[in-house]
Amino acid sequence: MCGIVGYIGKAEAPNILIKGLRRLEYRGYDSAGIAILDEAGKMVVVKSPGKISALNEKARAEWPDALFTQAPTGIAHTRWATHGEPTENNAHPHLDESGEIALVHNGIIDNYLALRARLKDKGHHFHSETDTEVLAHLVGEFYKGDIFHAVCDALHQVEGTFGICVLATREPDRIITARRGSPIAIGVGDGESIVASDASVLLAHTQRVIYLDDNDVAIVKKDSVDIRDLDNIPVNRKIAELEMDASAAEKGGFEHFMIKEIHEQPEALSNAIRGRLDFTHGTAVLSGMGTSPRELSELGRVVMVGCGTSLHAGLVGEYAFEELADIHAEVQQAAEFRYRNPILDRRDFVVAISQSGETADTLAAVREAQQKGAFVMSLCNVVGSTIARETGRGVYLHAGPEISVASTKAFTSQVAVLLMMALKLGRGRRLSREHGLEIAKAIASIPKLVTQVLTQNAHIEELAAKYVKDEHAFYIGRGLMYPVALEGALKLKEISYIHAEGYHAAELKHGPIALISKGIPVIAVACDIPGKDKTLSNIEECRARGARILGIVTEGDTAAAARMDDFIAVPSTHHLVTPVPAVVALQLFAYHVARLRGKEIDQPRNLAKSVTVE
């Protein structure tokens, strides 16, 4: 989603800000802009629709070279349009009426129309359709020479969500930043400070980071960070060490982040699993869950919440919890959960699944579940993310930064961690040590299984070439293969723009089969798990109507493979683990189809990596 960078330090602010924006490109955006204080203390702004490269060219054409090497302070933004089209006027930073205050903003100001009308009556002129420009003017309206107080006064009037950075010509020694519902991290460097909506931006400067909490406002100078609440009461936020490694955010010789991350999965999964399996007691060690055996035995239900790919991981989790822990388990779309007034009590174990840990609906679902007294924990990848911090207890994936918008290694790591959670819960209830050991061994084998699928990259690329011209595709599966079908279809549609739908194979007859006609591709996830034979029958129904079948089958299952026009064989394993190798085959398939179609794989149109607005 939108990205923020602010820099105050030695020099070269424009270069540093542009580099920072490039780091944020993966989040998805459609325009960008930058505001700098020049030598004369004047605010200079450049904005551009389209890519950062266009912004860079424009800045280089409009600004003197000296500005690039000497200016010590500035703020910048990548915008993902919400209010108004992605035009130059709508791009951030926005200025107040005087032109002396610049502001960049992530989030949505819900009451901006009322505020805009009020400000217009007071003589303010607006040049964009955005809610952000209203906020810039509001800050200007309150400004009496102290930008911190003006920001606090303005934010008191605002309904909605924000992560902001503000710069004022009359106070060039500071950037003001604040958050409510939209992340802000401050890098504490040596004679320089850097503010960003995504901690990966800070890595080039420092490993020392402060995460703001909701309603924190910080006065950021090059050698100090002073954090207060909206009422000017000082608050204490700890400096944490960033655990990321700068090289993890580079492509490392791969053409795209997505294919790099697909190939990183054996390592990511090893990191997710390492030290968490106990082969003596046949269980998992997940101290972050913070549960005693008694608490585990008393739980009545597992409710997972998430969106998109994380929701699909939760669907796999349902099977694992029910089978291993004999507990009712369900996954709910987080936006649906938060608004349906869910029935919860203290015996409900709510697990928020989110790679970014910032998804607005998942965060709201967490707050709703906490409000209702449920036992809430998170399963996040991004360390220090809002959901991880607000839940207080949880398990990190340790999959490393996921830069590609299309999630891959987060999904497989989520599944691995959910299996371990189910194992731990099961052992606290009725699961025997022997059965627990069997599951622990199957989980431990996951990285190797994924490596085996990755060796088929070239074969999958060849297959992709056969399907690249299709404009529709159906993915079908049953049981544990149903979430895999959903996830496979999601991967294909989001990066190749092929219309792909995932269905439960049994649902075909209830409607979708009407769409099956000669030549339509059906990707059938028919690995050898309970229910496979029924899927094979559904495949026959599709074949009878002329569909071309690409099957995902278990290695050695020649009978199943014989029913397919094409197939990818994945290694045989415990049925609960099967979704992982099966989905990796579909990730590779989607990647190669999109690549052959020449799509912008890492930044698909209209999509954002972290959806921090509803």
Nearer to ligand F6R, 370 or 452 (CB): 370
Nearer to ligand F6R, 205 or 256 (CB): 256
DSSP assigned state of 86:
S
Nearer to ligand F6R, 43 or 492 (CB): 492
Least distance to ligand F6R, CB of residue 466, Å: 24
Nearer to ligand F6R, 26 or 142 (CB): 26
Q: Is the peptide bond before 483 cis (omega within 30 degrees of 0)?
A: no
Nearer to ligand F6R, 525 or 583 (CB): 583
Least distance to ligand F6R, CB of residue 410, Å: 6
Least distance to ligand F6R, CB of residue 391, Å: 13
Nearer to ligand F6R, 391 or 610 (CB): 610
DSSP assigned state of 399:
-
Catalytic residue among 2, 165, 527, 542: 2
Least distance to ligand F6R, CB of residue 94, Å: 27
| 209 close to 236: Cβ distance less than 8 angstroms | no
Least distance to ligand F6R, CB of residue 174, Å: 32
Nearer to ligand F6R, 335 or 553 (CB): 335
Nearer to ligand F6R, 414 or 554 (CB): 414
| 90 close to 129: Cβ distance less than 8 angstroms | yes
Nearest residue to 357 (alpha-carbon basis) of 397, 386, 394, 314: 386
Q: Report how far residue 338's alpha carbon sits from residue 303's, in angstroms, rounded to the nearest whole number.
A: 12
Least distance to ligand F6R, CB of residue 56, Å: 28
| DSSP E strands, 264-418 | 277-278, 283-284, 301-306, 328-333, 348-354, 375-380, 394-396
Nearer to ligand F6R, 310 or 603 (CB): 310
Q: Report how far residue 401's alpha carbon sits from residue 397's, in angstroms, rounded to the nearest whole number.
A: 10
Nearest residue to 611 (alpha-carbon basis) of 222, 91, 270, 107: 107
Q: Report how far residue 5's alpha carbon sits from residue 77's, in angstroms, rounded to the nearest whole number.
A: 6
Nearer to ligand F6R, 307 or 316 (CB): 307
Residues in CB range of 149: below 8 A, 6 or more apart: 142, 232
Residues in CB range of 283: below 8 A, 6 or more apart: 277, 423, 424, 427, 436, 440
What residue ranges bind ligand F6R (CB under 6 A)? 307-310, 354-356, 359, 362, 406-407, 490, 494, 610-611
- The one-letter amino acid code at 442 reads A
Least distance to ligand F6R, CB of residue 4, Å: 18
DSSP assigned state of 160:
B
Instruction: Find the residue with minimal CB distance to ligand F6R.
Output: 308
Nearer to ligand F6R, 444 or 489 (CB): 489
Least distance to ligand F6R, CB of residue 505, Å: 22
Q: Report how far residue 491's alpha carbon sits from residue 474's, in angstroms, rounded to the nearest whole number.
A: 12
Least distance to ligand F6R, CB of residue 352, Å: 9
- Rounded to 5°, the CA angle 428-324-300 comes to 60
| Adjacency order of strands within the sheet including 193-196 | 43-49, 31-37, 73-79, 3-8, 193-196, 185-188, 208-211, 240-241
- Give the DSSP per-residue string, 98-156: TS-EEEEEES-BTTHHHHHHHHHHTT----SS-HHHHHHHHHHHH-SS-HHHHHHHHHH
- SS3 at position 324: helix
Name the one residue in this structure whose structure tokens are 């190798």. Answer: 581
Query: Residue 163: enclosing H or E segment and its boundaries?
Result: strand 162-168
- For residue 70 the two structure tokens come to 């000497």
What stretches of 128-229 show up as alpha helix (H) in DSSP?
131-142, 147-156
CA 144 from chain center: how many Å? 39
Least distance to ligand F6R, CB of residue 375, Å: 20
Nearer to ligand F6R, 193 or 355 (CB): 355
* Dihedral angle computed from the Cα positions of residues 576, 494, 469 and 453, in that order, rounded to the nearest 10 degrees: -30
Q: Report how far residue 139's alpha carbon sits from residue 147's, in angstroms, rounded to the nearest whole number.
A: 8
- For residue 563 the two structure tokens come to 């029913």
Least distance to ligand F6R, CB of residue 573, Å: 24
Catalytic residue among 47, 260, 493, 609: 609
Does residue 2 have an active-site annotation? Answer: yes
Nearest residue to 12 (alpha-carbon basis) of 30, 47, 42, 36: 36
- Give the DSSP per-residue string, 12-57: -HHHHHHHHHHHHGGG--SEEEEEEE-TTS-EEEEEEES-HHHHHH
CA–CA distance from 356 to each of 25, 134, 317, 344, 603 (Å)?
Answer: 15, 29, 19, 25, 16
Residues belonging to the active site = 2, 609
